[in-house]
A and B are shown apart, each in its own frame.
Chain A
Amino acid sequence: MTRLRNFWKIVTGLLRELADENAYQRHLAAHGRTHSGEEWRRFCEHRLKAKYARAKCC
């Protein structure tokens, strides 16, 4: 049961990482801020700019 729970934790963790939701939580924690639409847009500005300056693999 614990293994199954751990597996589920990794799957959801991966999905959240791919969705940038984990990165957003880290951003909020790092800057001591709370979630708001404005904060999300500020995070996106920085995150997406860096993300799409890199090549995507073939």
Chain B
Amino acid sequence: MNRITGLLIWAAVAILGAYALAGIAIDRGEPVNSMWLVLASVCIYLLGYRFYASFIAAKVMALDDRRATPAERLRNGHDFEPTNKWILFGHHFAAIAGPGPLVGPTLAAQFGYLPGTLWIILGAVLGGAIQDFVILFCSTRRDGKSLGQMAREEIGRLGGVTALLTVLLIMIILLAVVALVVVNALKGSPWGTFTIAATMPIAVLMGVYLRYWRPGKVLEVSVIGFLLVVASIFGGEAVAHNPALAPYFTLSGLSLAFCVILYGFFASALPVWLLLAPRDYLSTFVKLGVVLMLGVGILFVRPDLQLPAFTRFTDGTGPIFAGKIFPFCFITIACGAISGFHSLISSGTTPKMVAKESHIFPVGYGSMLLESFVAIMAMIAASVLQPGVFFAVNSPAGIVGATPEAAAATITGWGFPVTAAEMASLAKDVGEDTLYYRTGGAPSLALGMAHIFASSGGGKAILGFWYHFAIMFEALFILTVIDAGTRVGRFMLQDLLGNIHRKLGETSWMPGVVFSSAIIVLAWGYFLVQGVLDPLGGINSLWPLFGIANQLLAAIALCVATTVLVKMHGAKFMWITCAPLTWLLIVTYTAAWQKIFSPLPRIGFLAQADQFERMIESGKMTAAKLAETQTLIFNNRLDAAVCGIFLVLVTAILVDSVLLWAGILRGTRPSRITETPFVASRLRPEEV
């Protein structure tokens, strides 16, 4: 009876999911309610979790609770500690949820809501969650080893070096692109700039409070920090309306870029307890709280989607970034569907805290489904905006025209009506001078979130507060990614420099710290400034580069995962990781090839460099413009070279892996499993 009831319930979930999916895919001519997206995604997540992931857990991984995990065997009260399943779930989710699942879907909404939504749901269930799940399993069975260590041990020396180099390069591009998102959100916005600037003294105050006044009271100081940050939003409004103070906080893109670069340098070189750690605590709690608020807000308001299922920009002529739906939709949304960066978390802290092997299933697979749902919420928040407003906010001046009237006319000409007066009124409602040309996704996402929050209560009167609250939320944790990323990049570089000069490798030797911090900051700062000066808005070139890099890191993780599966079961189950790997390789190689070699200047880096070169050769340029154009030519060639380096690195690890798999399957290479030997668990239930 129970079995029949269970079958009936799952059949109902399947039918409901299929109905909701068909509804959002087929229905045309009337607005689609956001609840259909929520329903379709939740049903598919439940089916994926209950059937596909549980099959992998039982038959492929054979998760065994009798086996002691590294958290139990190596328990030390620091890193290795058996942790409650749901606490670890939240901990892992907080670690994998960055700005990617919010910004990516917002940018990909230029194709309409449907392509991005389908990729987020299916990509997560069949790819992203599988990657996180399998890598967490592999690392847990190997004493919590990192992806690089596993690549070296499972595939070979080349795999380890490639993984390390790829991570360092990706980090540089990642830091530049997320910094660009913040710069574009804050330029010309005294309210936003003051609020974000205020978070720095607040963080320092929190750091000092925690170290000297009330040591150990992290939750207490986080509440104080949050209240101060909310107060700074009101302070930002006062500053924006003060003619004496507003000019100090009304900064250009370039000035803001230099401020962010300086911030990155100091955050990397200063003691971690002073700035980085308190900001991180605050941003983690704000992030979880706002994600929860957004979920509740969407359920409460149930807004209609204003964007169509597909826009005309599926043909590759999109204003936000150029390129057709295939492959660019799939690299624009990385986090939320599949993200290589997650494999670093799944082989970092989390495997050292897994109390029982069965917990790997909800933590590894389940957390990624929740992250995917965050991406669905971001897609909804972007899609509730009027399409004309969405494109006016996200399109660069180089595409739509340099005046509000010209931009409104261009966007209306695309079939998305919007007027300059409408945009001016909206900007006034949120307390900004203008909302045009705010590329990067953060401002349009903030507008969508503000719309949902204000519709829950308060209406237009508090739209400005919610808009700046959302901007604060995005910038707060993006800056945390920047400061922590710069620090990690500095450690990686010092690791390498230590081979040249021993002192440079010492993380407490100040000249070495300053030198290596400066190198890392200059590396991502260069790409950031390049993005700010780009006439096409920067996002057009940097976000695809980041997407390609992130997906290629996922390809490396899936190579490691496939190698482990081949060693465990031969060819029998390798399709589980090979299927998403094949898809990722097709998508990323196509995208990278197009970004380098496409003859269309808006897509191909080399074609754009050639176009600039022809402009110089025509001889109609002023001396100032000439220098700027030469820089643009160099930048485009540099981007092409970086893209090429990614391809070479991943091709090397791929070829190495395929040769190994073929050798193992033919019996010419040893299939040595590097798992830690079985030790019986003695963990008592009350200990977890």
What is the CA–CA distance of A48 and B289 in the complex, to the nearest angstrom? 23
Residues of chain A within 8 A of B218, CB atoms compared: 19-21
Describe B's contact surface by its main secondary structure.
helix
Closest B residue to A50 by CB, please name it: B79
A44 touches B211 (CB 8 A): yes
Which residues A3-44 have CB closer than 8 A to chain B?
Answer: 10, 13-21, 23-24, 26-27, 29-31, 35-37, 40-41, 44
B335 touches A58 (CB 8 A): yes
Residues of chain B within 8 A of A52, CB atoms compared: 272, 276-277, 484, 487-488
Size band of the interface chain A makes with B:
35 or more
Which residues B325-371 have CB closer than 8 A to chain A?
Answer: 334-335, 339, 341-342, 344-345, 348-349
Which residues B268-323 have CB closer than 8 A to chain A?
Answer: 272-273, 276-277, 281, 284-285, 288
| Selected contact of B90 from candidates A18, A47, A50, CB within 8 Å | A18
What is the CA–CA distance of A53 and B97 in the complex, to the nearest angstrom? 18
- Minimal beta-carbon separation of B588 from chain A (angstroms): 16
What is the CA–CA distance of A56 and B81 in the complex, to the nearest angstrom? 21
Closest B residue to A29 by CB, please name it: B77
A55 within 8 A of B: yes
Q: Known: A16-B219, A52-B484, A53-B491. Contact between A58 and B272, CB under 8 A? A: no
- Minimal beta-carbon separation of B81 from chain A (angstroms): 6
B52 within 8 A of A: no
Closest A residue to B173 by CB, please name it: A58
- Minimal beta-carbon separation of B245 from chain A (angstroms): 33
B19 within 8 A of A: no
Q: Known: A10-B86, A23-B78, A58-B178. Contact between A18 and B484, CB under 8 A? A: no
Contact with A along B97-110 (1 / 0, CB 8 A): 11110000000000
B272 touches A56 (CB 8 A): no
Which residues B212-229 have CB closer than 8 A to chain A?
Answer: 212, 215-216, 218-219, 222
B149 within 8 A of A: no
B76 within 8 A of A: yes
Closest A residue to B168 by CB, please name it: A55
What is the CA–CA distance of A19 and B210 in the complex, to the nearest angstrom? 12
Which residues B71-87 have CB closer than 8 A to chain A?
Answer: 76-79, 81, 83-84, 86-87
A58 touches B100 (CB 8 A): yes
What is the CA–CA distance of A10 and B362 in the complex, to the nearest angstrom? 15
A48 touches B273 (CB 8 A): yes
Residues of chain A within 8 A of B219, CB atoms compared: 15-16, 19, 21
- Minimal beta-carbon separation of A18 from chain B (angstroms): 5
- Minimal beta-carbon separation of A2 from chain B (angstroms): 16
A14 touches B86 (CB 8 A): yes
B83 touches A58 (CB 8 A): no
Q: Known: A20-B218, A27-B77, A50-B79. Contact between A57 and B345, CB under 8 A? A: yes
What is the CA–CA distance of A31 and B78 in the complex, to the nearest angstrom? 11
| Selected contact of B87 from candidates A14, A31, A50, CB within 8 Å | A14
Give the interface of B toward A (CB within 8 A).
76-79, 81, 83-84, 86-87, 90-91, 94-100, 167, 171, 174, 178, 211-212, 215-216, 218-219, 222, 272-273, 276-277, 281, 284-285, 288, 334-335, 339, 341-342, 344-345, 348-349, 480-481, 484-485, 487-488, 491, 546, 550
Give the interface of A toward B (CB within 8 A).
10, 13-21, 23-24, 26-27, 29-31, 35-37, 40-41, 44, 46-58
